[in-house]
Homo-oligomer: A and B are copies of this chain.
Amino acid sequence: MNKTKDELTHFNGQNRAKMVDVSDKKITNRIAIATGTISMKPETLKRIKEDKIKKGDVLAVAQVAGIMATKKTSELIPMCHLIPLTGADITFKDNQKDKITVTVTVKTKHVTGVEIEALLGCQITLLTIYDMCKAIDRGMLISNVHLVEKDGGKSGHFVYDK
């Protein structure tokens, strides 16, 4: 690998962080997908799924939180540009035992990508699940949070490879 210094683009001539100049980048349709998992006691997953049936819905709250978080990315991540998102969607899958996996898809038509938005939406969705259930399971674990796929920018199509 042969990466040159200026590729850590977030630094200026005084070696301090800056918000990179994207004035001349092209407006294109961009998409990013991120995922992450929360592990819990089997009892906790059971409770989440039962309560859902009864309509006291942990996942509904978590997902509203996740979508709202995608819109707050530039407030939380210092060098992120404000990007008006054109769409955000979150889905859940559980392993029927002790894990819930969250997948967040974010879109924009803008000059820079939305991978941080997707990852943040994922983190906040997972943490809200933790918050809603912590009274019965304080030892839940968040893991495997990563970008799944990204497309539409100059850097091309990225697919996570593991």
Contacts and interface: CB of A to CB of B under 8 A. Distances in A.
Contacts of A9: 135
Nearest to A143: B143
Query: What is the total number of copies of this protein in its complex?
Result: 6
Q: What is the interface of chain A mostly: helix, strand, loop, or mixed?
A: mixed
A131 B81 contact: no
Given A55-B57, A78-B65, A116-B127, A87 B21 contact: yes
A36 to B, nearest CB: 7
A23 interface: yes
Contact of A80 (B1, B80, B90, B131): B131
A86 B8 contact: no
A18 interface: yes
